[in-house]
Amino acid sequence: MTSPSYNALPPEVETPSADLPKSDMIMGIDLGTTYSCVAIVEDDFPKVIPSRKGQRTTPSIVALDDKGRLLIGEEAKKQLLINPTNTIYGAKRFIGRHFYSDEVGALSRYFSYTVVPIGDMAVGAQVGDRIFSLPQVSAMILNELRKNVCEYLKKNISQAVVSVPAYYTENQREAVREAGRIAGIDVIRIINEPTAAALAYGLNKDYERKILVYDLGGGTFDASVLELFENVFKVLATGGDTFLGGVDFDERAVQYILSEYERAEGQILQCDSVITQRLKDAAERAKIELSSKSSAQIDLPYITIAQGKFKDFRAELSQEDFNAMTEDLVDRTIEVCVEVLDAAGMQPEDVESVILVGGQTRMPLVVDKVSRFFAKQPTKGVHPDEVVACGAALMAHSLVSQSSVRLIDVLPMSIGGRQPNGGFKTFFPANCSLPAEHEIGVATVHDGQQAIEVFLYQGESDQALENEFLGAFVVTGFPKSPKGQVRLAVNMSLDQESILEVTARTLSTGQPMHVQMVANAPAVAENLDLEPLEPVLAPVQAPVQAPVRPASPAAEKRRYSGLRGFIRRISE
Ligand code: AMP
């Protein structure tokens, strides 16, 4: 196995020429599950920058060919069918997750390449004799998109606004920032995909309305309700299903092929990774065809060998049958819409426009069910594959031009701390508006205790360990005293991008304490030669919403000069 560096681009990856003059533009990047897209704003309009070969989107795929050469994007996609185990796709679904999490266990079944742990928790993708970290894989895609823009502008562009799904946890967002660093791209801002879509739909249009962004992509679904007024884009609620997307529709067609094969041949089709990939590919092609035709022909010549003879598979699938096979999947998206509307205190008829995002929304059944549920046709004129990149580019442009766009997002999943009994104490509830602030009171629980450690998690379980571990902060600087005598107010604030800042002070005198942020709390406790101690958590006050600050490019820059980890600024 080659000795790896997980936080740099592989040496053979070509980066934009350093001789190019520097551009002060900021590109907008939609780092997608299946395809990625990049746009810039020219003459106040977003423009998608195609690849050298004229493709407006780039497959989010990295592969090693049989000679060990590294392939990225279009080239990598070409070999997916013949060399699936050496082709990394769907990295967006793994990035920033813990290797031993249930999600990674469940996701691994979808992919033909091998997923391995890197260090304690990170996920790595193994192809041939090489292992890449997920941020590295995403960095290669980002670099590919950047090269397209550099070539188009004949300038070196190195700043980007990158979109992520609204439901991404803080760890996932940080992993995307890490991908930017690896690619040498300064990620000025992370923007939620539905917010980007809303920007592309409504920026500078004087809209005053409530809209719903329905995003059904390759692997995931999310729905967000936004309120638009005077170039303010306020997310009212967001929700989704991270295990519902185009691949689930493909899987139904794969099951159909397998059952038809068994019916015709009287035996089941034995699948290796190449046959499985061919089935998935045929299923997806039939699905896409059925979005514009009433039936699709599925042809799989030489699909297997039986009694020394090649076997072909051929079948017809009608749109009607495919709709019946997948109706429950579309119904699940509608259930999510109901939940999201409920969280926003709205009824379907309160939604004035519905915006469809993601390739799977081209399925007529999706359009039909969405139209019926909302009693209106979805908005035409936004391109489901490009709208997010265009919105990210518009956001980027507004940062450069310091225009008055304001994004008010919500936290997709609750953030809280672990209590001494293992319970989860919510500090910031899901769907609270960002920025937000919360203060807790903590006290020492041991005589002579010199540090108070707060372990942070994100999720909705009332058991901390069932949620995702984010990191911790350790408060020190108070004198040794009998237990309970040190009483501190710990103030936590989440900014627009949900980056946490923590300050602490004594409740009696207001004297500031030292706060250290750590990604791995027990390790720090070891370094400090401390028992990991847990505080008594008692809210001092309910979460309060901080006033919305318009972000200036300078403030954005400062934010990114801090610590690694989602918790990046330390305050004393
Ligand atoms: P995205 O993540 O937005 O790129 O969406 C990719 C998903 O959209 C994949 O599952 C594709 O199979 C699916 N898709 C693309 N085009 C169509 C189409 N015309 N009809 C149905 N699904 C499609």
Q: Please give the full DSSP string across 146-185, using - where no structure is assigned.
A: HHHHHHHHTSB--EEEEEE-TT--HHHHHHHHHHHHHTT-
- Rounded (to 5) percent helix, strand, coil in the chain: 30, 30, 40
pLDDT confidence of residue 255: 97
Based on the fold, state whether residues 432 and 399 are members of the same structural domain: no
Tell me if 21 is assigned to some domain: no
Count structural domains, the chain.
Answer: 3
CA 249 / ligand 1 centre spacing (Å): 10
* CATH number of domain containing 275: 3.90.640.10
Q: If you take atom 6 of ligand 1, which residue's CA is the nearest one?
A: 218
CA 60 / ligand 1 centre spacing (Å): 13
Tell me if 235 is assigned to some domain: no
Is the shortest distance between the CB of 60 and ligand 1 below 6 Å? no
CA 564 / ligand 1 centre spacing (Å): 35
Mean pLDDT of the chain: 87
Query: Residue 51: phi, psi to the nearest 5?
Result: -75, 175
Pocket test for ligand 1, best of 30, 34, 36 (most atoms within 8 A of CB): 34
Based on the fold, state whether residues 399 and 442 are members of the same structural domain: no
Is the shortest distance between the CB of 357 and ligand 1 below 6 Å? no
Index of the ligand 1 atom closest to the CA of residue 33: 2
482: helix, coil or strand? coil
Based on the fold, state whether residues 392 and 437 are members of the same structural domain: no
Pocket test for ligand 1, best of 55, 251, 288 (most atoms within 8 A of CB): 288
Is 0.75 topped by the overall pTM? yes
In the DSSP assignment, the letter for residue 314 is E
Q: If you take atom 7 of ligand 1, which residue's CA is the nearest one?
A: 218
Based on the fold, state whether residues 152 and 52 are members of the same structural domain: yes
For the chain, the distance separating the N- and C-terminal CA atoms, rounded to the nearest angstrom, is 45
CA 382 / ligand 1 centre spacing (Å): 15
Give me the domain span that covers residue 152.
26-203+382-408
Tell me if 329 is assigned to some domain: no
CA 35 / ligand 1 centre spacing (Å): 10
Tell me if 9 is assigned to some domain: no
Based on the fold, state whether residues 64 and 166 are members of the same structural domain: yes
Q: If you take atom 1 of ligand 1, which residue's CA is the nearest one?
A: 217
* Residues of the chain scoring pLDDT < 50: 3, 521-572
Based on the fold, state whether residues 511 and 403 are members of the same structural domain: no
CA 89 / ligand 1 centre spacing (Å): 15
Is the shortest distance between the CB of 291 and ligand 1 below 6 Å? yes
Based on the fold, state whether residues 74 and 33 are members of the same structural domain: yes
Based on the fold, state whether residues 193 and 250 are members of the same structural domain: no
Q: Tell me the C-alpha distance between 43 and 401, whole Å.
A: 12
- Annotated catalytic, 186? no
Between the CA atoms of 374, 377, 379 and 385, what dihedral angle is there, to the nearest 10 degrees?
90
- Annotated catalytic, 215? yes
Q: Please give the full DSSP string across 180-204, using - where no structure is assigned.
A: HHHTT-EEEEEEEHHHHHHHHHHTT
Tell me if 333 is assigned to some domain: no
CA 362 / ligand 1 centre spacing (Å): 7
Q: If you take atom 20 of ligand 1, which residue's CA is the nearest one?
A: 288
By C-alpha distance, which of 358, 259, 276, 363 is closest to 315?
Answer: 259
Is the shortest distance between the CB of 359 and ligand 1 below 6 Å? yes
Query: Residue 539: phi, psi to the nearest 5?
Result: -65, 135
Pocket test for ligand 1, best of 287, 322, 369, 390 (most atoms within 8 A of CB): 287
Index of the ligand 1 atom closest to the CA of residue 359: 8
Q: Please give the full DSSP string across 394-407, using - where no structure is assigned.
A: HHHHHHHHT---EE
* CATH number of domain containing 184: 3.30.420.40
The neighbour count for residue 446, using CB atoms within 10 Å, is 11
Index of the ligand 1 atom closest to the CA of residue 249: 10
Based on the fold, state whether residues 74 and 118 are members of the same structural domain: yes
Q: End of a domain among 301, 323, 345?
A: 323
Pocket test for ligand 1, best of 242, 247, 360 (most atoms within 8 A of CB): 360
Q: End of a domain among 290, 305, 323?
A: 323
- Annotated catalytic, 44? no
Index of the ligand 1 atom closest to the CA of residue 215: 3
CA 385 / ligand 1 centre spacing (Å): 9
Tell me if 349 is assigned to some domain: no
Q: If you take atom 22 of ligand 1, which residue's CA is the nearest one?
A: 360
Is the shortest distance between the CB of 34 and ligand 1 below 6 Å? yes
Instruction: List, in order, residues 6 or more apart from 125 with CB less than 8 Å away.
Output: 88, 91, 94, 113, 114, 115, 116, 131, 132, 134, 137
Is the shortest distance between the CB of 358 and ligand 1 below 6 Å? yes
Q: If you take atom 3 of ligand 1, which residue's CA is the nearest one?
A: 358
Tell me if 395 is assigned to some domain: yes
Query: Residue 543: phi, psi to the nearest 5?
Result: -55, 135
Q: Tell me the C-alpha distance between 454 and 524, whole Å.
A: 12
Is the shortest distance between the CB of 58 and ligand 1 below 6 Å? no
Give the angle 77-123-417 at the CA atoms, nearest 5°. 135
Is the shortest distance between the CB of 33 and ligand 1 below 6 Å? yes
Based on the fold, state whether residues 476 and 420 are members of the same structural domain: yes
Based on the fold, state whether residues 423 and 398 are members of the same structural domain: no
Is the shortest distance between the CB of 128 and ligand 1 below 6 Å? no
Q: End of a domain among 323, 346, 373?
A: 323
Q: Tell me the C-alpha distance between 307 and 95, whole Å.
A: 44
Tell me if 65 is assigned to some domain: yes
* CATH number of domain containing 488: 2.60.34.10
pLDDT confidence of residue 522: 45
The catalytic position among 144, 215, 241, 468 is 215
- Annotated catalytic, 210? no
CA 37 / ligand 1 centre spacing (Å): 14
The catalytic position among 77, 92, 210, 234 is 92
Q: If you take atom 16 of ligand 1, which residue's CA is the nearest one?
A: 359
CB 558 within 8 A of CB 498: no
Based on the fold, state whether residues 76 and 133 are members of the same structural domain: yes
pLDDT confidence of residue 566: 29
Is the shortest distance between the CB of 89 and ligand 1 below 6 Å? no
